[in-house]
Amino acid sequence: MLAIFKKELKSYFTSMTGYVFIAFFLIIVGIYYAVYNLMNRVANFEYVLSGVSFIFILLVPILTMRLMAEDRKQKTDQLLFTSPVSIGKIISGKYFAVLTVFLIAMVIICFYPLILLQFGSVPLKTAYGTILGFTLLGAAYISIGLFISSLTESQLVSAVVSFVVILITALMDSLVNFLPADNRTCYIAFFIVVLLICWLLYSMMHNMTVALTAGVIGEAALTVIYVIKPGLYDGLLTKVLGWFSVIARFDTFTSGLLDLSSVVYYISVVFIFLFLTVQAIKKHRWN
């Protein structure tokens, strides 16, 4: 794992990617910092990070697009996956390498509130809490990018899909407000979702019985709950989609709260997507 970590990290700095990422990141954060904090003379660094969180939509795809896609294209994955290193270790080695590039930028950003301290009192706890939240947000997005990169051998496809997915998660908060919240529409929506899952199951396993059984049980359960307690469905769609709004959790940090559930949420996202990446690679080997 260490060997893969070192190799990946080095490749970020032998190619341009690592430098470009850090430079862009620091420039954009720097502009917001100059405008918000220095020119408007506000002491709250968290405003900068909350304003700048769109940055991930642009920069994470650049950082993660080549991670797995390039290996598959160059066939170097044959070396990795036939070496006595488990897939999980290979994936975590790669993940920690990208994370390190991101952390290098974050370490530099840690000095910004200290600069403000020269001019007066700064709410340092909120500032560093927000930096922590920002780092976790980035870590979660990087894991999503890594997962998408493992699905394709084209860096371009990987970058575009990552861009769209991260954009959707960022807009999710405002999108869900347009969704209907009454229990009937929610029931119908979930009915369709279960159907889709069954179709996915079938296309992956080519096993009619498994897909049908899962479908019938799922739909039956949904209907029973709807008949017995329709109140459960009220606003459920908004709630469920809210879970996917990765960026919403970041707001708790910027408002000065260190919410444990948000920390756990981000760490779970990282684990889930690393797990999915390993599964995607295993699946690819089966086909």
Contact residues for another protein, defined by CB under 8 A = 2-4, 6-7, 11, 14-15, 74-86, 285-287
Closest distance between another protein and the C-beta of residue 84, in Å? 4
Cβ distance to another protein smaller for residue 95 or 112 = 95
Cβ distance to another protein smaller for residue 5 or 56 = 5
| Rounded CA separation 108/114 (Å) | 11
Report how far apart, in Å, the C-alpha atoms of 261 and of each of 30, 56, 114, 164, 266 are: 30, 22, 28, 26, 9
Cβ distance to another protein smaller for residue 81 or 265 = 81
Closest distance between another protein and the C-beta of residue 14, in Å? 6
Cβ distance to another protein smaller for residue 15 or 223 = 15
| Rounded CA separation 239/248 (Å) | 12
Directed axis angle between helix 2-14 and helix 87-109, to 10°? 50
Cβ distance to another protein smaller for residue 128 or 275 = 275
Closest distance between another protein and the C-beta of residue 143, in Å? 22
- The single-letter code of the amino acid at 57 is I
With a CB cutoff of 8 Å and minimum separation 6, the contacts of 24 are 58, 59
DSSP 64-86: HTTTTHHHHHHTTHHHHHTSSS-
Directed axis angle between helix 55-64 and helix 17-33, to 10°? 170
Closest distance between another protein and the C-beta of residue 36, in Å? 39
Cβ distance to another protein smaller for residue 4 or 165 = 4
Closest distance between another protein and the C-beta of residue 83, in Å? 5
Which is nearest to 52 in space by CA: 23, 69, 31, 76? 31
Closest distance between another protein and the C-beta of residue 209, in Å? 19
**8 A C-beta contact, residue 162 and residue 144:** yes
